[in-house]
Chains A and B, each alone.
Chain A
Amino acid sequence: MPRPPSSPTAPPRSFRWTRRIVLTFLTAFALLPVYVMLSSSLKPLQDVSGKFQWIPSGLTVRPYIDIWDTVPLARYFLNSLIVAGAATVLSVVIAVFAAYAVSRYRFRGKRVFTVTVLSTQMFPGILFLLPLFLIFVNIGNSTGITLYGSRGGLILTYLTFSLPFSIWMLIGYFDSIPRDLDEAAMVDGCGALGALFRVVVPAAVPGIVAVAVYAFMTAWGEVLFASVMTNDTTRTLSVGLQGYASQNDVYWNQVMAASLVVSVPVVAGFLLLQRYLVAGLTAGAVK
């Protein structure tokens, strides 16, 4: 979102110098691990085992070939994609419905709902990790629906992690869309849901994209539940990546190559959509 200069006069020299120093420091801080990841992923093993080299003495793409054999990275990748993708879609759809109800209707229990949903953000994950694990095992024993160890269980868990924030942000976003628009649609013969899908959802695309990005990143990066709730076949990247480090030798070049490979899709997607995220936050959450 380009913002015109806020002051008609050019900033003074003291400000320009401070800006240069602060921004240079923060750029170096932000990018240092990215540089290490990239450069080390292209080094042969003896180079990452010895002293760190800023400028690699030899380059090889070997680590990028080997990562797929050292651990079943492709399977973990697919698992993460399925889990994070499904959790995102479901979380967004459910949040849209819930936020629409809160934004457009008055009903008994509205405050209780929003306060409860928001306060679940506060729970330490560790508090409900074991109970949830036991619930999933019990559901499996009594109904035959496998949740523990399955992708379905993880999808169910993850979608609730992003749900509170998504609902909260979409309420703000929907509130900023003039009510007259969907009322007019209803007068023209749309039902409430018709108005939601034909008017409110199209007008709220930036907010919905922002929420989807957030949900995907939450699911793609989660470690605690993934380490307890998965088995060998359903393991996601967050747990699978530790496979390179569990041997006597740590294949640091492969660890870095794999880290880069799993990061590229999310980082690319995020940077492409970050404008929506700022727009969504401005209209929704930061009010």
Chain B
Amino acid sequence: MTTTVTPGRTDRAGSGESVGTTDTRRRLPRIPDRIRHGGLPYLLLLPAIVLEMLVHLIPMVIGITMSFRQLTQFYIRNWGEAPWAAFDNYRVAVDFDAPIGQALLHSFYVTCLFTVLAVGLSWLFGVAAAIMMQENFRGRGLLRAVFLTPYALPVYAAVITWAFMFQRDNGLINHVLHDQLGLTDEPSFWLIGDNSFIALVVVAVWKSWPFAFLIIMAGLQNIPRELYEAAAIDGAGIWQQIRKITLPSLRPVNQVLVLVLFLWTFNDFNTPYVLFGRAAPEAADLISIHIYQSSFVTWNFGSGSAMSVLLLLFLLLVTAVYLLLTSRGRKAADA
């Protein structure tokens, strides 16, 4: 075998037999063309389109128009009659010298830091677990089930358990840190004050690393075994194989995974809501809770909508830049 290892290329180009399978994709339009299908695809798509319109697109358009109105609880029944505010809600939201703008900026900053930490650690744990479990060993199937359990547990049940563990007087965390290890002089508060940020990151990582593990595990299945065999014959050890084959081959999977994790984590509402309730402590005031608070607790829906639109614009911008950078990276790798 004289095959040279080419990391990053996961297709088996040139191995003869695989040409047939890629060929079925290329022959795509044989039966179906626009004359013969007679509108069938549109009919098949209709339920999905109607539902997406009803639940996502129309509400989103309404949400955007709401952000231009002075929408308080008095206009909830007839929101169309709420006074026009033009860009007032936006102006207030981004006035970083005033309390509302300051709070929004702070919550944005907290969310960014939280997202970077949670996504980074989740990815790291997921990739470590998946690589360590690529080889077969005894108990591997059981361990895989163990690792996926946090993903399978319903969020509220799992996060309530964490809230119990973080209780000051009867929780497990303080019992270990204070009573058993003696690391703190006093039992700490974890769900209020500055520590709440740490608690939030821990719970979020616990919740999302199994998803990273699942996706990376699936991604590893697509790496052809021949690459490893060839590398082993060429004398590459397992660490070298991981660095030169596994990690580069995972790049396309990682790109999608990190984007998805980023979007989920940045928008996460469930974790802070179950952990802290309607009002999160300042140190852990994630943007989704912040907007919920200003919409449903202080009853200023116009302002809440404006903040949501700003959030959406930010997410769109980040996604666009990310997709641009990664597709450019891929092109460079292919060249």
A residues whose Cβ falls under 8 Å from a Cβ of B: 1-9, 11-12, 14-15, 18-19, 22-23, 26-27, 29-34, 36-37, 40, 48-52, 94-95, 97-98, 100-102, 104-108, 110, 113, 116-117, 120-128, 130-132, 134-135, 137, 156-157, 159-160, 163-164, 167, 175, 178-180, 183, 186, 192, 217, 220-224, 227-228, 237-238, 241-242, 245, 252, 255-256, 258-260, 262-263, 266-267, 270-271, 274, 277-278, 281-282, 285-287
Contacts and interface: CB of A to CB of B under 8 A. Distances in A.
A127 B160 contact: no
Which of the listed residues A134, A180, A227, A262 has the most CB atoms from chain B within 10 Å of its own CB? Answer: A134
Interface in B233-282: 237-239, 241, 253, 256, 263, 267, 269-270, 273-274
Interface of B: 21, 24-25, 27-34, 37, 40-42, 44-45, 47-49, 51-52, 54-60, 62-63, 66, 76-77, 79, 125, 128-129, 132-136, 143-158, 160-162, 164-165, 167, 169-172, 174-175, 179, 206, 209-210, 214-215, 217-219, 221-222, 225, 228-229, 232, 237-239, 241, 253, 256, 263, 267, 269-270, 273-274, 288, 291-292, 295-296, 301, 304-305, 308-309, 311-312, 315-316, 319
A179 B27 contact: yes
A123 B60 contact: yes
A27 B146 contact: yes
28 contacts: A1-B221, A2-B136, A3-B136, A5-B136, A7-B228, A30-B206, A33-B150, A102-B41, A105-B32, A108-B34, A110-B41, A113-B45, A120-B57, A125-B267, A131-B66, A134-B79, A160-B55, A163-B48, A175-B25, A180-B24, A221-B154, A221-B270, A223-B269, A252-B164, A259-B158, A263-B154, A266-B154, A270-B152
Contact of B270 (A33, A224, A260): A224
Interface majority SS on A: helix, strand, loop or mixed? helix
B315 A48 contact: no
A170 B267 CA distance: 25
B76 A159 contact: no
Contact of B148 (A106, A260, A271, A282): A271
B241 A7 contact: yes
Contacts of A30: 146-147, 149-150, 206, 210
Contact of A6 (B154, B170, B228): B228
A255 B232 contact: no
A271 B149 contact: yes
B45 A101 contact: yes
Contacts of B129: 22-23, 26
Contact of B232 (A7, A126, A256): A7
Nearest to B158: A33
B316 to A, nearest CB: 7
A253 to B, nearest CB: 10
Q: Which 4 A-B pairs have the closest CB atoms?
A: A128-B59, A259-B157, A270-B152, A131-B59
A7 B238 contact: yes
Nearest to A51: B175
B51 A160 contact: yes
A221 B160 CA distance: 13
A223 B156 contact: yes
A159 B51 contact: yes
B54 A117 contact: no
Contacts, number: 318
Contacts of A259: 156-158, 160-161
B315 A98 contact: no
Contacts of A9: 232
Contacts of A223: 155-156, 269-270, 273-274
A252 B57 CA distance: 41
A263 B157 contact: yes
Nearest to B237: A12
Nearest to B162: A33
Given A105-B40, A241-B160, A8 B309 contact: no
A163 B51 contact: yes
Given A12-B238, A48-B170, A130 B179 contact: no
A25 to B, nearest CB: 9
A14 B164 CA distance: 38
A51 B187 CA distance: 11
B63 A128 contact: yes
Contacts of A4: 136, 225
Contact of A105 (B37, B66, B145): B37
